[in-house]
Amino acid sequence: MGILDNRPALKAGIDRIAEVAGYLWEKGWAERNGGNITVNITEHVDDVMRSLPALGAPRPIGKVLPRLEGCWFYCKGTQKRMRDLARAPMANGSIIRILPGAASYEIVADALVAPTSELPSHLAVHDYLLAKGSPYRASLHTHPIELVALTHSRRWLEKDVATRMLWSMIPETKAFCPRGLGMVPYLLPSSVELADATIRAIDGDYDVVMWEKHGVFAVDVDIMSAFDQVDVLNKAAQIYIAARSMGFEPEGMSEAQMQEISAVFGLPKQGLF
């Protein structure tokens, strides 16, 4: 038996992760083993799960994350591909539990699949979210083509310049991604510095953060919601790029139109538009 057997709520959550992994591959956002998913599944843990033996020795996180003590996560496996995770999530990812002291973890199910090398960064963000009292339980890193392309121009790296443009391309962007797109200058992938910069950006009231010339990092209540935010933002970037490829600069929605959307729907950051 696998850990998902007779646990419908947990299985439904893992199935959603697999579904999102498939979307990432289909969109071309997950080349080779690119991208990562980490989801806090603690709410689905029962007493039988808590008694399960570890599949291997404890592994260090690399830092102490006190709010995560006793938490459980599903993590994409290192060197695993999203297209494979979509077909077999428990063969291409693992369920881990954070041990007392919050400095190490152990793999519990279903196989001894080592988590992504970016696990410390993802867990650091989850620790921050819990400390803040956030309901967000999912983190997603992926490589949306058009959004990454924008970061190859200094113009779009300035604070909220890309946000204003993306919001103005189509009303749904402002409605469904009301906190916009944060920007983090290029830092070494998987580094502590990148993790710290990402947390600072999220703390600046963003749910989706752009890593210059790399990809995005998104957080939300569940993995589908995190994916949806990235999908909506990237659609806006596609509209902008399509207009430019037709030979003109899109005028975008007016400031008055954007303010109307913000007021009607009671959206945050109304000062930006």
Question: Which residues does the annotation mark as catalytic?
Answer: 118
d(Cα 44, Cα 39) in Å, to the nearest integer? 12
Q: Identify the residue whose tokens are 């790399």.
A: 214
Q: Which residues contact 224 (CB under 8 A, 6 or more apart)?
A: 16, 19, 20
Q: What is the pairing mode between strands 36-40 and 59-60? A: unpaired
Q: Identify the residue whose tokens are 């199935």.
A: 15
Residue 28: exposure state from Cβ atoms within 10 A (0-12, 13-18, ≥19) = exposed
Helix (H, G, I), strand (E, B) or coil at 218: strand
